[in-house]
Structure 1
Amino acid sequence: MYTALTDTVTDSLHPLLEQNWQRFEEKLNAVEGVSPELLTELTRVSVGSDFVSEQLSRSPVLLQDLLTSGDLHRSYEPDYYATALTQRLSGIDAENDLHRELRLFRNREQVRIIWRDLTRRADMRETTRDLSLMADACIDGALNWLYDSACERWGTPYGIGESGEKEQQRLVVMGMGKLGANELNLSSDIDLIFSFPENGQTDGEKKCLENQDFFIRVGKKLIQALDNMTVDGFVFRVDMRLRPFGSASPLAASFDAMEMYYQEQGRDWERYAMIKARIVAGDKQAGAQLMQRLRPFVYRKYIDFSAFESLREMKEMINREVRRKGREQNVKLGSGGIREVEFIAQAFQLIRGGRDSRLQQRELCNILPLLPDSVGMPQEAVDDLLNAYEFLRNAEHAIQAVADRQTQELPMDDKEQLRLAYSMGFEQWDAFYDQLEAHRANVRRHFADVIAPAEEQEEGQTENAAEEWLELWDGALNQEQGIIFLAEKGYDDAEAAYKQLVDLYRSRTVQMLQQIGMERLRAVLPTLLAEVSRTDNATETLSRVLTLVSAVLRRSAYLVLLAENPGALKQLVRLCSASEWFSEKLAKQPILLDELIDQRTLYTPPDKGQISNELRQQLLRIPEEDTEQLMEALRYFKNAVTLRVAASEITGALPLMKVSDYLTWTAEAVLNVVLEIAWRNLSEKHGVPMKSPGVPCDPNFIVVGYGKVGGIELSYGSDLDLVFVHNADPNLFTDGDKQIANSVFFTRLGQRIIHILNTFTPSGQLYEVDMRLRPSGNSGLLVSSLKAFTEYQKKEAWTWEHQALVRARVVAGDPTLQREFEAVRAEILESQRESGALKTEVVEMRQKMRDHLGSKNTQNTEKPVFHLKQDRGGIVDIEFMTQFNVLAYAHEHPSLTEFTDNIRILEGVEACGLMSADEAESLREAYISFRSVGHSLTLQGRSSEIADDELRESRDLVATSWDKMMLDA
């Protein structure tokens, strides 16, 4: 029997066919009704799917069941899965039995679906529909069983309906993405959102639960029922990160909370996601009401062309991810892939869906045919896209059918390539790949017509000009000729420039380059050298740019990026000319070159809300348990925003104060996410600490920023002065299986936060953390309770610690505890102090700092310098004066404690009549000048010292104010 079947496949696939055939050959002998047609199909399936072969070998009755029932060769009615699974689950008493029955059901139906897909008994749309219906049935069937079980244990949840009467509450499960659109692939995750109609509580006899708590517990059970891997496999991988606020939020939210979030917080990418949203399980009648309430967020009443820009940004984000992870051969995410077809359809849905209700559908194959009439898209384009989409989805299914594994990557192995081609109906890989490329080329072309921005048409160099630069590079010009050539082109120190190029050419890295790397280097050098020659400091700029080139030679894809994006190359040269810091940052992390491509975002950093949302959006794509990848993503995000801020400052698009705002907002966003990650890691292991008996922390923990981060004055490379405070009973324990004392939990939480921030990864360090300002400094506890912190500040803290408290501000954590901390801070700062003693202590501390940190330590007598921060008349003098005013007069003027930044404190000092308007303005101007010069020095890679004759007027004004305020009797 086997020998006859080998004639239907190429010789190269015979070993694979034989291997899988041997798995179930004995079982096949016992199957009745095996026809030649069935054997032909079995051959195709056994070559295309190791998963099906394994299932048939493990379950002798599976193939017989599929044949006897006729299910293998018929299309199901829409209600089949729900009916069949309901019967299967009837009489189940134990949760373990529920898990087993769900998995056995899924495995049987997955075999049937793969079989029908590979043999083309089902087309692509039937395959995706069946997978989605099966998912619906599994979610709903498991939920119904778990809901009933939960009601028996904790009572039935109730809320007050519109009639004023009690109404039973059920969970509403919203399916997102491919599940919502009835377009699941063979190994999709399912993206879910849980909601319930109203707050209330259960009617349990022994224990009542709040409705939210009840549904969170049910939701967790549902995820386990579907997602857990057992000996029988899994049902579906579940992803809950698309819910409002992502992983930081409760697992289930009320309808009111959902509506409020999308009205006030919803972002463009969430509009995009919500197009496909569908109620897949639970209370579908209530779910319909929820969808109606959310519809205005998705579909605008007006024609919304802003959707194009949003989708461009999302596509560029995906492109960056593709480039970083080398996914160019991904049939979903790669250029011309499935995602681009989806974006085309959804762009018009977002733009015109509010006006044209026909576009308010989820299924892509229903939307595309509407576009000629709705938006005037040529019919030929629609036909191309539909054909490409079907081919790409079939290829995706054939890839996933092999091992029931979530991947869309084209195989690299010859045997696997031939297997994929065979499953797609081709005898050879090249024939399949040619057709795939033809479809992808069509998608790329139509995507560019609809969404991709028009590329700037750059006038390239003439061929002769490029050849001149390459002659210099190749050594065709001798040293004298090369120096003359560089001088003619505009290099200010042509001899030094020539030496830099020769050193690079002779470097071991260049000499060991493979051919493709050398070709890429030669492709970009002429344009790069010509652009550098146009700068005012060409030789210095060349040194900086070549440092970056050296860093990326072994990763020459970055050279391609510059060669193919003249605008990005031009910005690189411009910014490296202005800043050594910029070139060093790119050399250390060249992946940031991506940020140079789009000038609209390069010189427009995101605002505070956008920073937080962009960060959370990027982290949504990373599994919560993958801490290493999360840490890398955090570092990339922080560096990318910092780069954009620096670019904006260098070009004058951002003033100094705004620069510090953006850098501080970035740190705050990162700290909030790091706290969430650390909290999740610990609470999953040990449970949640208890604030008081029976009351869990949520989280009753804050991160307090001191110094620059507290004063909203971060600069490039600033470290973070932090203090951790909690507000839970240290004698209580966590509520998990591996209980630990609250005090231990919070100490480990602090350690985990520091680890995530401080650890050096391939992308460097996130932030350097300084904890020395905590109570008792390095000898004190890492995390203090609010009570202990208060007692220390009242009874033991030194004056300099109260000075530091002036700039203290909660930057992450629990809002309730934040308010309590702010009250404590105000109480301490508003305490009445004896003015003379206070002044003496502040002056003595300032003198110690000058002695230890001032410029005299440079031993430079020939060229005296001025230290911007520490020398007399510098930044710290201004800071100490503002702190003195707060500590001396806040008991009379409580408003002085409101702000933590020096500029607004000085405004407050002026408003309270403690300083003249002219003096306050002079100090503010001096402070801004000093910090602006400091930023510029950082960007130029220099220390905080300037020539002794610079900024003399500002320094004298500060020194005069210091003497008048702090030294006069």
Structure 2
Amino acid sequence: MTSSPAAAHLTASRFLQRWLDADEQRQPLLDEMSRLSLSPAIFAQILQKEMLSGASLNKAMRRLRNLVICTLIKRDLEDKADLNEVVTTISEFADFVVHQHLQELHTELSAIYGVPIGEDSGIEQEMIVLGMGKLGGYELNVSSDIDLIFCYAEDGETHISNENQRCLSNHEYFSRLGKKLIAAIAEITEDGFSFRVDMALRPNGNSGPLVASFGMIEEYFMIQGREWERYAWVKARAMTGKADDIATLDKIIRPFVYRRYLDYGSIDSLRSMHAQIRAEVVRQETKHPERSNNVKLGRGGIREVEFLAQVFQLIRGGRDASLRDRSTRNTLNTLASKGILDPHIVERLLESYTFLRNLEHRLQYLDDAQTHTFPVQSEDQQRIAQMMRCADVPELLAQLQPHRAFVAEQFDAIFKDKANSDNEAEQDLLAANLANNENEENLAAQLTKAGFTDATSAARRLIATWQSPKMQTLSEASRSKLIALVNSALGLIARQDNNHLVCWNRLLDFMEAIARRSAYLALLTEYPHALARVVRMMGASEWAAIFLTRHPILLDELLDESSLHQRPDWLAFQRDLQQQLAQHTGDTERQMEALRELHHAMQFRLLAQDLEGQLSVEHLADELSQLADLIVTATIQAAWETIASRHRPVPRFAVIAYGKLGGKELGYASDLDVIFLYDDDDQDAPGNYAKLAQRFITWMTSHTPAGILFDIDIALRPDGASGLLVSSVNSFARYQEKSAWLWEHQALTRARYCAGDAEIGQRFEQIRGQVLRQERDAHKLAQEILSMRKKMHDAHINRSDLFDLKHDAGGMIDIEFIVQNLVLRYAHQYPQLTANIGNIALLKLSGELGLIDAELADRTSTAYRWFRKLQHSIRLQGEDRARIAHDKIENEAAATVSLWQALFAEQA
């Protein structure tokens, strides 16, 4: 029979019952208190009341502590408080305890020894108390100890103001203060204690000094800091201290805890740490079988949920500040919102975490003991079941089991050792063959057995790579990982239909590039499906292989298969851009890096979809153009903020796209043809907008560790290379109407507003429409276009036996010139031709309007689509020139030539 809430709290918690039995006045006080959600303000009121009655701070605080614990027990068991309230309240109480005692003790000590002063700054120093573990994340247990670390900013000595005071070094002063603080909080008196205190997490542990200066901490991190301490310091939270000192300390802690790169080596480190913890738990359980149900450290327990959250903090926190939260629950939610973990899995993890933490609390409610193990006595087990609202112990264990099983399953998905034990013999053979320089034949035989064609060349290349200076200087651990990865890749490459040796060479180039980056080796080791995807990409595209080799950080994008199949969420991407730039305001280099990283990541996702055949060339070009638009927009906004002389918060400035970006036909390596317009009468406008344009170009084209964003071509601006970098809208309009060459009007057919001030964008579209709709002499127009086409043809003479898809007669340039002729010739009659809808759509529209033969228009538009697809495929293989055998495009080229002759034959 399920117990009522009232019965549960009155009979199940022996600690609560003993506390109530000790004083009959406590029951009404508890009833009153349990109606409230406790807060620091309430703590202060009760503490003051106790001290006014004559109690010392130590006595009053301990009485308050017992009242707080009992109130939380009652509220929790009566369903008035959820887990969040319980852990937050007890954490806030710990902060309150530390604050109150530290303030009183500092006053006492400074009266005796004077005020500690920094030797460099000359200002008063304060002790910073760091809350670690669950206290740091505001997720403390009701009966937990508190993990603390004491530190201070500067060495120096105390300033004495009278002869009765005795000068101490700052280190000695804070050491005495720390000892007194621990005693005040943790000493057991007739009223109990406030909190048990554990100082073992400080630098050098219990053998180290009780307090440390910032300099000591920094030196320790640099020289002695161990991997498990990175995990511990994720939770470090300053409970006391000056804001400036806390900020300085954070700058010391952050680079130790969070790597600037994606640190997949953390998985192996935490796996090892977890194995050590589990080994100790198993040892204890073997020694004491009755303690075998540990909800914190046991299989599928609380610690495994914490590790699941914190491993991603260590992996990604260096690049993503949102993952530096100290709360396990908040971190899990962030991982879900970012798509790093599946939201449904996170929801279930949080459900299991809540169940386990609630059970842990009830184990502690029993006797106010710091325990995480199911009790031995059957009576006590029944009390726990009662507090968990279960009729009996079997019902409780039946509820517990699926939670632990789910947590263990998710933990194994991340932390299970991915080494392929089934393949160890082949791996050992590969290592032996590579260790002996004369074993080329044996190595070739092994590769042949794996399924390689041309195994001899593959073996020779592998040996050359393995003997390279970079490989020879690797650590033994890295060499072992590389051998394991190469061995895994053998079968993956052999199963591909394309040339094994080409893929093999590309992969070895990639492996050599990342060999010294242990994080990338760890990623591919931990996520075998990522290695499989890498091999597929290497086999499919030379361009993809080079791109990934230059930007191995993009390996991270291969981990989530679902994201690689999703169409881009451009609103979310835009938010990410804004957040990353805002996060690094004032740090131009980091902002430029963030732009490149986000751009490359999205481009890589599109590349992965492209290689899997999920995108048409036209759709891909649309997506790449949209990506470029958003990058341009974000860069303009960020670059404007760096101009100290800017005269308005938002610039009246716009970027106009021409060429491939203007026509939304962008490829992976396309440059951006742009011009810059402004509409601003302020006297400082021309100078500031010239600075903005120049800074924009710098932000786009500068080489950083992440590479560049885009090459920028500004040759299409009014007056070309001799013209101003930026133009006012009015001067641009005058130039286009009176001075522009015909080829500039041709270029205008594929121009559009890209980014910046939308009103300027509207003005540009009006100007563009007016210019394109001018009535022109058809014969003169044709002559000028033919002349321009001849110049381009002469500049790109093809002496090969192949057809140049872009430049040869009947190719893409001819089709683009045909469309430009149709727009400039007929737009005064048919304004719809000025729409920037792409060459294929404009050809079909011209056919529908009867301007050209409809069937020929359809054949030519089909040819253009085929040419683009072929060009894209060739470029993916790293070729600069898109040329192909004539028989592959014979019909398409003939259609283009026929349409060209129909339009231009009489003018030729």
Q: TM-score, normalised by structure 1?
A: 0.57
The aligned residue for residue 618 of structure 2 is 657
- 1:910/1:44 CA distance change after superposition, 3 Å: closer
Cα distance change, pair 547–384 in 1 and its aligned pair in 2 (3 A): farther
**CA 1:477–1:844 in 2, change beyond 3 Å: closer, same or farther?**
same
Show the counterpart of 1:959.
Answer: 897
Code of the residue aligned with 1:789 in structure 2: it is F
CA contact (8 A) 2:524 2:530 kept: yes
Structure 2 matches for 1:619-638, cutoff 5 A? 619-620=581-582, 622-638=583-599
Describe the superposition over 1:912-960 as per-residue Cα deviations: whole angstroms up to 9, x where unpaired: 2222332222122111111111111111111322234431211111111
Residue 287 of structure 1: aligned partner: none
Alignment deviations for residues 574-613 of structure 1 (CA, whole Å, 9 cap, x no partner):
1110111111111111111111111111233414334323
Q: Secondary structure at the match of 1:705?
A: strand
- SS for the counterpart of 2:238 is coil
1:453 deviates by 8.7
2:563 is equivalent to residue 601 of structure 1 = yes
1:880 aligns with 2:817: yes
Q: Secondary structure at the match of 1:855?
A: coil
1:186 and 2:234 correspond: no
Q: Is the 8 A contact 2:114 2:158 kept in 1?
A: no
Task: Give the residue type in structure 1 aligned to 2:789.
Answer: R
Residue in 2 aligned with 1:641? Answer: 602
Provide closer, same or farther for how the CA distance between residues 948 and 461 of structure 1 changes in structure 2, counting only shifts above 3 A. farther
Q: Does 1:925 align with 2:862?
A: yes
Partner of 1:950: 888
Q: Deviations over 1:517-562 (max 9, x none)?
A: 2122123221122222222221111000000000011112211111
**Could you tell me which amino acid in structure 2 is paired with residue 721 of structure 1?**
D
The SS at the match of 1:764 is coil
Are positions 1:754 and 2:730 aligned together? no
Aligned twin of 1:481: 442
Q: Match of 1:538?
A: 500
Q: Is the Cα–Cα contact under 8 Å of residues 344 and 451 in structure 1 kept in the other structure?
A: no
For residue 615 of structure 1, the aligned residue among 577, 581, 586 is 577
* Separation of aligned partners in 2, 1:834 and 1:382: 84
Q: Which stretch has the larger CA shift, 943-952 or 824-833?
A: 943-952
Cα drift, residue 460 of structure 1: 6.6
Q: Is the 8 A contact 2:418 2:526 kept in 1?
A: no
Q: Distance in 2 between matches of 1:348 and 1:541?
A: 35
* Number of the residue aligned with 1:575: 537
Whether the 8 Å contact between 1:866 and 1:946 is mirrored in structure 2 is yes
> How do residues 241-280 of structure 1 correspond to structure 2 at under 5 angstroms?
none
1:835-875 superposed Cα distances (whole Å, 9 cap, x missing partner):
1100110111011101102323xxx4xxx122111111111
Question: Residue 23 of structure 1 contacts residue 57 of structure 1 at CA under 8 Å; is this kept in 2?
Answer: no
The CA deviation at 1:455 is 9.3
The CA distance in 1 between the partners of 2:309 and 2:548, in whole Å, is 19
In structure 2, the partner of 1:291 is none
| Cα shift at 1:491 | 1.6
CA contact (8 A) 2:652 2:760 kept: yes
Q: Which residue of 2 aligns with 1:342?
A: 330
Structure 1 equivalent of residue 379 of structure 2: none
Tell me, what secondary structure is at the counterpart of 1:725?
A: strand
Q: Are the counterparts in 2 of residues 806 and 900 from structure 1 also a CA contact under 8 Å?
A: no
SS in 1 for 2:657: strand
Classify 1:378/1:626 alpha carbon distance in 2 versus 1 (closer, same or farther; 3 Å).
closer
Contact 2:430 2:487 in 1 (8 A): yes
User: Closer, same or farther in 2 for the Cα pair 1:513/1:52, shift >3 Å?
Assistant: closer
Moved more, 948-957 or 817-826: 948-957
In structure 1, the partner of 2:840 is 903
Residues 234, 648 of structure 1: alpha-carbon distance in 2 compared, 3 angstrom cutoff: closer
Structure 1 Cα separation of the partners of residues 329 and 361 of structure 2: 7
Cα distance in 2 for partners of 1:928, 1:188 equals 66
Q: Distance in 1 between matches of 2:642 and 2:444?
A: 60
For 1:702, which of 627, 630, 654 is the aligned residue? 654
SS of corresponding position for 2:888: coil
Runs of at least 5 residues in structure 2 that lack an aligned partner in the other structure? 1-104, 116-125, 131-147, 166-176, 187-192, 197-234, 251-306, 340-345, 365-402
Q: 1:48 to 1:788 in 2, by over 3 A?
A: same
Partner of 2:850: 913
**Cα offset for 1:501?**
0.6
Partner of residue 66, structure 2? none
For residue 884 of structure 2, give the secondary structure of its aligned residue in structure 1.
strand
Residues in 1 aligned to 2:804 and 2:544: alpha-carbon distance in whole angstroms: 23
Deviation for aligned residue 1:698: 3.8
Tell me, what secondary structure is at the counterpart of 1:781? coil
| Larger CA deviation: 763-772 vs 337-346 | 337-346
The separation in 2 between residues aligned to 1:832 and 1:317, in whole angstroms, is 67
Aligned counterpart for 2:647 among listed residues 688, 692, 699: 688
Matched to 1:538, the amino acid is H
From the superposition, tell whether residues 590 and 742 of structure 1 become closer, same or farther in structure 2 (CA, over 3 Å).
same
Distance 1:188 1:942 in 2: 62
After superposition, give the CA deviation of every residue in 1:318-374 in whole Å (9 maximum; x if it has no partner). Answer: 97784367699x9x958xx835432457899999xxxxxxxxxxxxxxxx9x999x9
Alpha-carbon distance in structure 1 between the residues aligned to 2:677 and 2:846: 30
Report the CA distance between 1:636 and its aligned residue. Answer: 1.3
1:517 aligned residue: 478
Q: Name the amino acid aligned to 1:591.
A: I
Q: Which residue of structure 1 aligns with residue 451 of structure 2?
A: 490
Which residue of 617, 622, 637 maps to 1:676? 637
**Structure 1 position 788, deviation (Å):** 0.6
Aligned pair in 2 of structure 1 residues 534, 775: CA closer, same or farther (>3 Å)? same
Do the aligned residues in 2 keep the contact of 1:710 with 1:901 (CA within 8 Å)?
no
Query: For the structure 1 residues 528 and 326, does the alpha-carbon distance in structure 2 shift closer, same or farther, using more than 3 Å as the test?
Result: farther
**Structure 2 residue matching 1:338: 3-state secondary structure:** coil
Q: CA deviation at 1:118?
A: 11
Alpha-carbon RMSD across the aligned residues, in angstroms, is: 4.7
User: What do the CA deviations read for 1:863-894 (whole angstroms, capped 9, x no partner)?
Assistant: x1221111111111111111111111111111
Q: Percent identity?
A: 31
- Once the two structures are superposed, the pairs formed by residues 428-443 of structure 1 within 5 Å of their partners are none
Question: Could you tell me how far 1:187 is from its partner in structure 2?
Answer: 8.0
CA distance in structure 1 between the partners assigned to 2:699 and 2:361 by the alignment: 45
CA gap of 1:658–1:113, structure 2 versus 1, over 3 A, is farther
Partner of 1:28: 112
1:968 is paired with a residue whose SS is helix
**Equivalence map 1:733-748=2 (5 Å):** 733=683, 741-748=684-691
Q: 1:908 to 1:610 in 2, by over 3 A?
A: farther
**Which residue does 1:870 correspond to in 2?**
807
Whole-Å Cα distance in 2 between the matches of residues 339 and 780 of structure 1?
A: 57
Preserved contact between residue 447 and residue 490 of structure 2 (Cα < 8 Å): no
1:123–1:883: structure 2 CA closer, same or farther, 3 Å change rule?
Answer: farther
Change (3 A) 1:764 1:528: same
Q: Residue type of the partner of 2:472? A: Q
